[in-house]
Amino acid sequence: MTTVACRFMGSATLALTIAAIHVPASLAAGGPTNEELAQLVQQQAEQIARLKQRLDAVESKQPKSASRMAANAPASPDTPGRATPADEPSRANQIEPGADEATAPAVGNRPADNERLAAMQSDIDTLKENGIKVDWSSGAPEFSSPDGQFTFGFGGRVQYDGSTTSGSRFDGRSQDLNSRNIAGTEFRRVRLDVEGQLTDPILYKIELELANDTIGLRDVYMAGQRRFELGQGVVYLGSKFADSGLDGRTSSKWTWFTDRNVVSNDIDSAPGSYNVGATGVFYGNHDDHISFAVSRGSTNESQTSSNNLLVRSRAHWNPINSNGVILHLGANGYYKDFDREREPNFVDRSVIAGAYNDNLRVVGPFVDAKDSTAWGLELAGLAGPFAAGAEYGSMDVNSRSGGDAHLEAYSAQIGWSLTGEAYGYSTKQGVWTLPEIDNPVTSGGLGHWEIAARYGAINSDDTRFGGGSGHGTTFGINWYLNRFARLILADTIWTTNNNQPGPSIGGDPANGYYGHDDGNTVNARAQIVF
């Protein structure tokens, strides 16, 4: 019906228009000439053609326009649902019949559309506020709930090492021993971990070690934390990385060289680095902390299946922390009781030039160990691009069958940031951390460059096996490409002197590498952390 009505209206309009065509005066006065008649016919034809074009345009738009006219037409008094003036769209948003749609208002400009857009934006804002948050700043995703009470993050590290030793007189040809002049590569550490927070006071972490063709546990714990007026307290239950010293407590991700110093490796090696038990730590408000741990066994040593009791404590304080200048003071100690059911040989690693070369050892096993006691002192300082640190450690090992031993070790190191950034250090935990990296390679910069030097020495006074001594000087360079990637190159010039035990003493504490020996060891590392 709408189309028929429109055609009728269009035809009537055309007829009225034709009737209203101007008639020349000569036609009204008398008969037209042939020339005037031809001109009149031409004008009428042109007007009819223009009107036809307009009619076709109106008819092509008429269904849409008619529907809009019907929607905008006032309803009869008996029509239900009559729109009130407030509900009726304004004429500014109506399209007149036959109007060109190019001149019609945009859909988004209508009040109803604006309301829908506002509602959609509100939903988006609500989703952002109440949805799960993801943080990629550490290189791996960390998920957190909107209120921050629950967090879950991934982490890990890959450290690929290379080592080569030369110059030793134990070359495997003149003695019935393996050569100390060996070279090789290994994945020193491949670790994956998940950690986070269940609620505000409850923390957790699970860390797996995948290197050396084995799967082992490292940090695996639940922890509770609480804030006090004087600081923060945290209690860990499970396997926790031991708080053993400045270099010993520092993560392997941020040690200055490929290996920790001799104090950490030689004095603290026997209890194991990851102790299973309970650890309490209190972080004070004045750049200080103290820890206390009681554990039985370790997840990274042969004591895992033992019942060895370990009691350990460490404390640090920064009496100076102002304008980029920091002074570190620290002390640590432990007592260990060896279970009779464990393997009777207690093996000290005594690393002097890197962990890769197992033949480079200063002293060997202590037979039938009863208990051991150790203590240490720490001193360090940072000022601008310079940093330095020194540690001393002492350990006594008592044997049930005699042959007690005493070990001493000390180390000092100094470093300079060539690119001018400060060294990384945590005033909360008293350890070395990731340094500042102002211009990472990934942003077109040079990264962070450091040069460092270290001297370390160990002396063993073993009444049963004779003991031994050794020292090494290391020069190294660190290149942090960014906070995730790092390269290390270090050269150690070392000397060992293992004393040969008497003929009546069994065992081979130094694996037969007796007497004076010296050489050179180069260690390198490519590291990725996330």
List, for residues 324-381, the tens digit of each pLDDT value: 999 999 999 999 988 876 655 565 557 889 989 988 888 766 667 888 999 999 999 9
> What is the rounded CA–CA span in Å between residue 169 and residue 229?
61
pLDDT value at 404 more than 90:
no
Phi/psi zone of residue 242: left (φ > 0), alpha (ψ -120 to 50 degrees), beta?
A: beta
pLDDT value at 90 more than 50:
no
pLDDT at 338: 84
Higher per-residue pLDDT: 149 or 366? 149
List, for residues 171-197, the tens digit of each pLDDT value: 988 777 889 999 999 999 999 999 999
pLDDT value at 517 more than 90:
yes
Task: With cut-offs at 50, 70 and 90, classify the pLDDT of residue 3.
Answer: very low
Calculate the average pLDDT of the chain: 80
Poorest-pLDDT segment among 200-214, 376-390, 406-420, 491-505: 491-505
pLDDT value at 24 more than 90:
no
pTM of the model: 0.74
Q: Is 108 exposed, middle or buried (0-12, 13-18, 19+ CB in 10 A)?
A: exposed
Amino acid of residue 224: G
> What is the rounded CA–CA span in Å between residue 193 and residue 217?
10
Task: Please give the share of the chain, as a percent, with pLDDT higher than 90.
Answer: 50
Q: Tell me the range of 103-107, 115-119, 509-513 where mean pLDDT is highest.
A: 115-119
Poorest-pLDDT segment among 121-130, 174-183, 434-443, 479-488: 121-130
Q: Tell me the range of 18-32, 100-114, 287-301, 487-501 where mean pLDDT is highest.
A: 487-501
Q: Which helix (H) or strand (E) holds 347?
A: strand 345-347
Contact 288, 280 (CB under 8 A): no
Mean pLDDT, rounded, for 394-412 = 88
pLDDT value at 18 more than 60:
no
* Phi–psi pair at 5, nearest 5 degrees: -65, -40
Mean pLDDT, rounded, for 215-241 = 95
Task: With cut-offs at 50, 70 and 90, classify the pLDDT of residue 524.
Answer: very high
Higher per-residue pLDDT: 329 or 297? 329
> What is the rounded CA–CA span in Å between residue 425 and residue 428?
9
Task: With cut-offs at 50, 70 and 90, classify the pLDDT of residue 79.
Answer: very low
Q: What is the DSSP string of 277-327?
A: EEEEEEEESSSEEEEEEEEEEESSSGGGGS--EEEEEEEEEEEEEETTEEE
Contact 387, 380 (CB under 8 A): yes
Contact 300, 389 (CB under 8 A): no
> What is the rounded CA–CA span in Å between residue 497 and residue 469?
5
pLDDT at 102: 41
Question: Nearest-CA neighbor of 448 among 437, 460, 458, 457?
Answer: 437
Higher per-residue pLDDT: 29 or 164? 164
From residue 272, how far is each of 42, 180, 240 by CA, in Å?
A: 111, 26, 11
pLDDT at 350: 74
Task: With cut-offs at 50, 70 and 90, classify the pLDDT of residue 27.
Answer: very low
pLDDT at 67: 41
List, for residues 235-271, the tens digit of each pLDDT value: 999 999 999 999 999 999 999 999 999 999 888 765 5
Q: What is the DSSP string of 7-56?
A: HHHHHHHHHHHHHT----HHHHHSPPPHHHHHHHHHHHHHHHHHHHHHHH
Question: Nearest-CA neighbor of 208 among 195, 225, 191?
Answer: 191
Higher per-residue pLDDT: 213 or 86? 213
Q: What is the DSSP string of 446-510?
A: --EEEEEEEEEEEEEEETTT--EEEEEEEEEEEEESSSSEEEEEEEEEEEEEEPPPPTT--S-TT
